[in-house]
Amino acid sequence: MIVRVLLVTTDPGLRKRIRPLLNQVDILVSAPRKSGEFWRFLSTETFDLLLVNDVALPKPEAESIGAVRNLPERPDVVVFREKEDSQDGTALLAAGCLAVIPTGLPDAMIGEALATLIERRREEGLRYLNAADQQTKHSLRDIVSRSLAMQAIVEIARRVAGTDTTLLLLGETGVGKEWLARAIHEEGSRSSGPFIAINCGAIPETLLESELFGHEEGAFTGANRAHRGHFELAHRGTLFLDEIADMPLHLQAKLLRVLQERKIKRVGGEHEIETDVRVMAATNRDLELEMQSRQFRPDLYYRIGVVTITLPPLRDRREDIAELVRDQLAYFQRRIGRHLTGLEPEAMEMLIGYDWPGNVRELINVIERAVLLCQSNKIRLADLPAVISNQAGHSLPLQTALNPLETDTIPQRLLQMPLKQARALALSSNGQVLVAEGIHLYSISPEEFEVGSQLRLEHRVGRGGLAADPATGRTLWVSSAAFFVEGELAAR
């Protein structure tokens, strides 16, 4: 975040000494020429640190310091004194003053003291901004997926984490766009800075510009005090613009300029403010269609989409559902304080067969509800919402679990095999049907595939993906990362 400093002094010489010591890119300094404007600035400006000499501080000093500390931002107060008086200094500190600095010190020492106090204030601000995320850590290492698509996404995320490249995340509601953005932030060089998220669709159009860039006092009706925007708060960190497709066109133009110039101007302000912010954006809309209908600027699209990641919906990676269910079951057991032994097979089958319109977010809510309402040591079908338990999920064919690209060369009678009976299915490059069971890979000719077929063990394979066939030297492709459900391998 950018630290804002208010410098109030009756001594022009002191102002002339202090201003050069505060000339840093991420510090904004306001210095009224008349000390009589002290209370007006306090009531209209937004600031983190008040630097004031003892003469300019209204009397009684203790009450003035208390009034400053009670402002919404709870700014710190640093007092400059010409005379070193330990008794008066102690009284100021007891009243809530952060530090008392004698003006007789060399400029170098004063500069070091101010730099330390400013950095301390910045760290306090960061702790406040990040307080909501301290209990939940986001790490790319936590993403364990059998889906090749998700594995590729994680690899791209790792590559861009250490850069300042703008990032565009696409996908349906609930697929985890903000979670992935936070994980990329925490893995990158800006992890010590703030992660500020704003939902562009949840804020009225008339207020969105102020929330992004801030405003000055009197900028519009009701703007009684200055307000810092999200770009200032995200300084040295990451700003996540969720639902960016909902941003009005005139703000899209301003955002484009900010991304290019790395400077912002508050609403009603006259001066530009330099910012150091990495921007990530997300939307569940098709931006190509939005551009065709002239609802989204192409130049902004190309600017924010330097790297674009599209997260697949959960129904397109059913092979991950069982693992996600187990992870969330373990998490909510710890959080709620219950001990369950797992899920009944019928309940897991229904969860895997469900289409999850709300994606991962919906799955998390369903598991939390099941843990709360479960009356036995296992989650049963009756513990799931009716929309899931009443579906005809048990009759879904294997085809629903495979990527469309995987189904072109698989016989239809195999694709229609019920999920309940399948373990894992794919094709090798030589046309053999591959069945992955645990760490063993079996193969059989498609025309021989029927109930009771003898499977030929080819070799051991890991968790799925690409593997070399030692017999033929060809590469074997094990599904989009091996699909597993409970049951025996069979065909109807």
pLDDT single digits (tens) 52-96: 888 888 888 888 888 888 888 888 999 998 877 677 788 888 888
Q: Are 443 and 432 in contact (CB under 8 A)?
A: yes
Cβ neighbours of 191 (radius 10 Å): 13
Based on its alpha-carbon atoms, the radius of gyration of the chain, rounded to whole angstroms, reads 30
Report helix angle 148-161 to 177-187, nearest 10. Answer: 40
Three-state SS string over 334-387 comes to HHHCCCCCEECHHHHHHHHHCCCCCHHHHHHHHHHHHHHHCCCCEECHHHCCHH
pLDDT digits over 221-252, tens only?
777 788 889 999 999 999 999 999 999 999 99
Specify the CATH superfamily of domain 3-129. Answer: Response regulator (3.40.50.2300)
pLDDT digits over 278-328, tens only?
999 999 999 999 999 999 999 999 999 999 999 999 988 888 898 899 999
Looking at per-residue confidence, does 222 or 451 come out higher? Answer: 222
Torsion region of 220: left, alpha or beta (phi above 0 gives left; psi -120 to 50 gives alpha): beta
- What is the rounded average pLDDT of the residues 111-123? 89
Nearest to 481 by CA among 286, 368, 318: 318
pLDDT digits over 333-351, tens only?
999 988 888 898 888 888 9
Nearest to 305 by CA among 248, 259, 360, 359: 259
Give the whole-angstrom CA distance, residue 2 versus residue 485.
Answer: 52
Query: What's the pLDDT at 126?
Result: 80
Give the whole-angstrom CA distance, residue 473 versus residue 191.
Answer: 44
Please tell me if the domain spanning 3-129 has the same topology as the one spanning 317-395: no
Q: Are 394 and 345 in contact (CB under 8 A)?
A: no
The fold adopted by the segment(s) 317-395 is Helicase, Ruva Protein; domain 3 (1.10.8)
Cβ neighbours of 207 (radius 10 Å): 12
Q: Are 282 and 240 in contact (CB under 8 A)?
A: yes
Q: Does residue 377 have a pLDDT over 60? A: yes
Strand order across the beta sheet in which 426-427 lies: 426-427, 433-437, 440-444, 456-460
| Domain boundaries 140-310, corresponding CATH code | 3.40.50.300
Query: What's the pLDDT at 270?
Result: 84
Q: Does residue 275 have a pLDDT over 80? A: yes
Give the whole-angstrom CA distance, residue 199 versus residue 438.
Answer: 43
Q: Could you tell me the residue ranges of all domains in the chain?
A: 3-129, 140-310, 317-395, 398-478
